[in-house]
């Protein structure tokens, strides 16, 4: 019998790619999402790719009664990957309670019922934002976490602390937090990808929307950073590579290969790329020149960050393999599919 994995936020961007990897990796998947930042069509995309439509339950994970009913309905559940969260950094500054309530309550409810129903395994979506601007690069897992720049970032730090404390108090439970660097791209089929609501804040969706003619030009935030071309540097990781890491993490937990009952790993490529290099690479792979304007730095942005991937490579046994070229090409392919561009 296949092991059943709950993917919370599974109709969202990273969750949907992970659902595909899980199904292809031989797991049964049930998705819980309240469709706050995604649509049901994602299930069609997952089905087109895998031939399987995962079970779907629409509800808010902050609703404790609904979470309780869910655990009763799926007694065979083996593990949870918790993606569901609000993630817009700017909005979190305007509406901090929305972020603290959603991101913390959903996690607390899940851990509460995991303990009651003997579901022992949890993988949590964390972020490199917990490191702030690290003193040393590449950033390793032993780098200190710094005070968060935003309520969103703070929810990731607090969630990690909630998990760490809960694992100490409930030693039969096991958890892995995965600290993502900058996930980008889409599934190579173009059936699923990122669906930003409104004007995107993130670089790659803004680039692809500009290429599609939705925006006149891209603002490059800052050209006076201490980097070779003056623009900020990030570690952009292909979303399918990232998704595969979750399958590895689930298998590590189910096969009891973990060293302690709370572990955390950086998920990046180990290579930093500047904003201007991203624009150039997009041009190289698509032939499209993005109109851009250099403007002031964006408040709260750090100068540069990229991952030390050795711990994930050696201990988790996972490595990002896709090139930036193929990743940007997949992002463009997805945008074209969305807009009906040939």
Residues recognised as catalytic: 152
Pick between residue 53 and residue 219 the one whose CB is nearest to ligand WQD. Answer: 219
Measured from the CB of residue 158, what is the shortest distance to ligand NAD in angstroms?
Answer: 13
How far apart CA 15 and CA 81 sit, in angstroms, is 8
In a 13 Å sphere around the CA of 67, the CA atoms on its Cβ side amount to: 20
- Residue, CB closest to ligand NAD: 12
Query: Taking CB under 6 A as the rule, which mask of x and - marks residues 80-99 in contact with ligand NAD?
Result: ---xxxxx------------
Nearest 10 degrees: Cα torsion 108, 111, 116, 118 = 170
Q: Which does 275 bind (CB under 5 to 8 A by kind): ligand NAD, ligand WQD, none?
A: ligand WQD
* DSSP annotation string for 64-107: HHHHHHHHHH-TTEEEEEE------HHHHHH-HHHHHHHHHHHH
Query: Taking CB under 6 A as the rule, which mask of x and - marks residues 109-148 in contact with ligand NAD?
Result: ----------------x-x---------------------
Pick between residue 92 and residue 289 the one whose CB is nearest to ligand NAD. Answer: 92
Pick between residue 84 and residue 186 the one whose CB is nearest to ligand NAD. Answer: 84
- Compute how many other C-beta atoms are within 10 angstroms of the C-beta atom of residue 216: 8
Sign for the CA dihedral angle at 32, 7, 13, 147 comes to positive
How far apart CA 130 and CA 108 sit, in angstroms, is 20
Measured from the CB of residue 191, what is the shortest distance to ligand WQD in angstroms?
Answer: 23
Measured from the CB of residue 258, what is the shortest distance to ligand WQD in angstroms?
Answer: 24
Query: 31 to each of 15, 24, 43, 60, 155, how far by Cα in Å?
Result: 9, 15, 9, 12, 22
Pick between residue 11 and residue 127 the one whose CB is nearest to ligand WQD. Answer: 127
Helices (H), 287-320: 310-311
Pick between residue 32 and residue 305 the one whose CB is nearest to ligand WQD. Answer: 305
Number of residues that bind ligand NAD (CB under 6 A): 27
CB 136 within 8 A of CB 188: no
How far apart CA 322 and CA 261 sit, in angstroms, is 30
Residue 7, SS3?
strand
Measured from the CB of residue 57, what is the shortest distance to ligand NAD in angstroms?
Answer: 9
Q: Establish if 306 lies at the interface with ligand NAD (CB under 6 A).
A: no
DSSP state of 309: -
Measured from the CB of residue 342, what is the shortest distance to ligand NAD in angstroms?
Answer: 27
Q: Which does 201 bind (CB under 5 to 8 A by kind): ligand NAD, ligand WQD, none?
A: ligand WQD
The structure tokens listed for 194 are: 């990122």
Pick between residue 78 and residue 86 the one whose CB is nearest to ligand NAD. Answer: 86
Strand-pair partners of 265: 178
Q: Establish if 15 lies at the interface with ligand NAD (CB under 6 A).
A: yes
Query: 231 to each of 39, 165, 338, how far by Cα in Å?
Result: 34, 39, 29
* Of 4, 6, 7, 11, the one binding ligand NAD by CB under 6 A: 11
Q: Which does 219 bind (CB under 5 to 8 A by kind): ligand NAD, ligand WQD, none?
A: ligand WQD
Strand-pair partners of 56: 31
Q: Which does 206 bind (CB under 5 to 8 A by kind): ligand WQD, ligand NAD, none?
A: ligand WQD
- By CB under 6 A, name the binding residues for ligand WQD: 87, 89, 127, 129, 182, 201-203, 206, 218-221, 232, 234, 275, 298, 301
Measured from the CB of residue 101, what is the shortest distance to ligand NAD in angstroms?
Answer: 9
Measured from the CB of residue 169, what is the shortest distance to ligand WQD in angstroms?
Answer: 27
Site residues for ligand NAD, 57-76, by CB under 6 A, read 60-62
Query: 295 to each of 2, 62, 199, 225, 280, how far by Cα in Å?
Result: 52, 39, 18, 12, 18
Query: 154 to each of 128, 202, 305, how far by Cα in Å?
Result: 12, 19, 18
Residues in touch with ligand NAD (CB under 6 A) = 9, 11-15, 32-38, 60-62, 83-87, 102, 106, 125, 127, 180, 183
């Amino acid at each position: 019998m296949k092991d059943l994995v709950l993917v919370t936020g599974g109709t969202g961007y990273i969750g949907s790619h992970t659902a595909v990897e899980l199904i292809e990796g031989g797991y049964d998947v049930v998705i819980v999402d309240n469709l706050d930042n995604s649509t049901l069509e994602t299930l069609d995309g997952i089905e087109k790719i895998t031939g399987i439509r995962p079970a779907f339950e629409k509800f808010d994970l902050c609703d404790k009664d609904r979470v309780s009913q869910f655990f009763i309905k799926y007694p065979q559940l083996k593990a949870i990957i918790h993606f569901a969260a609000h993630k817009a950094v700017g909005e979190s500054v305007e509406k901090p309670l929305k972020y603290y309530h959603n991101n913390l309550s959903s996690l607390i409810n899940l851990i509460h019922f995991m303990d009651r129903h003997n579901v022992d395994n949890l993988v949590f979506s964390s972020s490199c934002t917990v490191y702030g601007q690290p003193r040393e690069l590449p950033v390793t897992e032993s780098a200190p976490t710094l005070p968060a720049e935003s309520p969103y970032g703070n929810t990731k730090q607090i969630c990690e602390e909630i998990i760490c404390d809960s694992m100490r108090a409930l030693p039969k439970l096991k958890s892995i937090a995965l600290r993502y660097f900058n996930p980008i791209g889409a599934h190579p089929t173009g059936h699923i990808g990122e669906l930003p609501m409104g004007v995107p804040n993130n670089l790659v969706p803004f680039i692809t929307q500009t290429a599609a003619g939705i925006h006149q030009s891209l603002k490059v935030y800052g050209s006076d950073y201490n980097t070779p071309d003056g623009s900020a540097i990030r570690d952009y990781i292909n979303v399918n590579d990232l998704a595969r890491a979750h399958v590895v993490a689930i298998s590590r937990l189910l096969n009891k290969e973990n060293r302690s009952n709370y572990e955390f790993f950086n998920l990046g490529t180990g290579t930093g790329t500047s904003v201007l290099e991203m624009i150039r690479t997009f041009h190289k792979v698509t032939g499209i020149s993005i109109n851009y304007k250099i403007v002031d730095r964006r408040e709260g942005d750090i100068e540069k960050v990229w991952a030390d991937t050795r711990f994930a490579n050696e201990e988790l046994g996972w490595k990002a393999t896709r090139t930036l070229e193929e990743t940007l090409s997949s992002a463009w392919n997805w945008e074209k599919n969305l807009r009906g561009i040939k």
